[in-house]
Amino acid sequence: MVGEVPYPYDPGAFPPFAVTADVALFTIGNNALQALLIERGREPFLGARALPGGFVREDEDLRDAAARELAEETGLHAGPWYLEQLAAYGSPDRDPRMRVVTVAFWAVCASLPASPRGGGDAAAANLLPVEDIERGAVRLAFDHARIVADAVERIRSSMEHTALAAGFCPPEFTIRQLREVYETVWGVSLDPGNFQRYVRESGVFEPSLALSAPGRDDTRSEPGRPASLWTARRTESGRPAKAVRRLARPGGKQARNR
């Protein structure tokens, strides 16, 4: 074998690219699906919104870069989020300055500090309703509108067969909280009774034993029977895993064109 660099490439044999990692972080706030965006403080796209992101470092894994950018932008470290890669976007003209390939990630989390101000990065970060973005009411930089659209589609689809919806909730949650996540992200209204059955029998979630539900009456003051708490079941693949499908209720919100 050779030394430091066993089989060096001819330095001129390949075109150099810049590689960035961008993250579309979603959360639910104000009864709507929200995306974390920053306001660009310089050209190009000065004043437009953009996804948190930046150059991948020399010896940094793509995923680590995405997590780092997210942490820098939200101020939250040891992120309480669920992060997954979406795809690479590398159209030759996506950045007017030079050839940049970005690896996009999507993430979901339960909540965010009221004002997730940039923890040192240039501009301020804030949450904007996905509905506004889908309507084209938000000016997004580069191809970030497409990235957000693709991420939302992936999330909506993934929620049908996995416990992803739990990523929008605290570690333990009530069935109602979970149902409201589905209703908000999918833009539909679900039947509470049938949804209860789904959560109970799908194998995707499981009741939170420990300081479970009925009996933990500490300082609650809402009327009605207290709800039990649930968690996402540890991912044991190799299971059927039922889907949520059409639990919609008759007079509910108008479903999007899925």
Closer to a copy of itself at the Cβ: 1 or 209? Answer: 1
- Element holding 69 (H helix, E strand): helix 62-74
What is the CA angle 60-56-112, rounded to 5?
A: 95
Rounded to whole angstroms, the Cα distance separating 80 from 38 reads 20
**Smallest distance, Å, CB 214 to DNA?**
5
Which of 42, 97, 135, 225 is close enough to bind DNA by CB under 7 A? Answer: 225
Out of 10, 59, 93, 217, the only residue in the binding site for DNA (CB under 7 A) is 217
Tell me how far, at minimum, the Cβ of 184 lies from a copy of itself, in Å.
Answer: 21
Torsion of CA 200, 205, 210, 211, to 10 degrees: -70
Q: Which of DNA, a copy of itself, none is residue 214 near (CB under 5 to 8 Å by kind)?
A: DNA
Among 223, 238, 254, 257, binds DNA (CB under 7 A): 223
| Cβ proximity to a copy of itself, 94 vs 233, nearer residue | 94
The residue (of 101 and 227) whose beta carbon lies closer to DNA is 227
Q: Which window, 102-110, 145-153, 155-163, 223-231, contacts DNA (CB under 7 A)?
A: 223-231
Site residues (CB under 8 A) for a copy of itself? 5-9, 13-19, 42-44, 55-62, 85, 87-88, 90-92, 96-99, 101, 103, 237-238, 257-258
The only residue of 58, 59, 222, 236 in contact with DNA, by rule CB under 7 A: 222
Tell me how far CA of residue 2 lies from CA of 6, 7, 9, 11, 204, in angstroms. Answer: 5, 8, 13, 18, 51
257 binds, among DNA, a copy of itself, none (CB under 5 to 8 A by kind): a copy of itself
Tell me whether residue 197 or residue 239 sits nearer to DNA (CB atom). 197
Query: Residue 16 has which token pair?
Result: 């150099």
- In the region spanning residues 148 to 207, those forming contacts with DNA, defined by CB under 7 A, are 174-176, 191-194, 196-198, 200
* CB environment 9-41: b (16+ within 10 A), e (fewer): eeeeeeeeeebbbbbbbbbbeeeebbbbbbbbe
Other Cβ atoms less than 10 A from the Cβ of 84: the count is: 16
Q: Report helix angle 175-186 to 144-158, nearest 10.
A: 140
Instruction: Give whichever of 122 and 211 is closer to a copy of itself, judged by the CB atom.
Output: 122
- Per CB under 7 A, the list member of 6, 245, 254, 257 interacting with DNA is 245
Which candidate, 19, 31, 24, places its Cα nearest to that of 138?
Answer: 24
Give SS3 for 126: strand
Q: Which residue from 226, 235, 255, 258 is in contact with DNA, where contact means CB under 7 A?
A: 226
Q: Is there a contact between 105 and 66 (Cβ–Cβ < 8 Å)?
A: yes
One-letter amino acid at 27 equals T
Q: Which residues bind DNA (CB under 7 A)?
A: 174-176, 191-194, 196-198, 200, 213-215, 217, 220-228, 242-243, 245-250
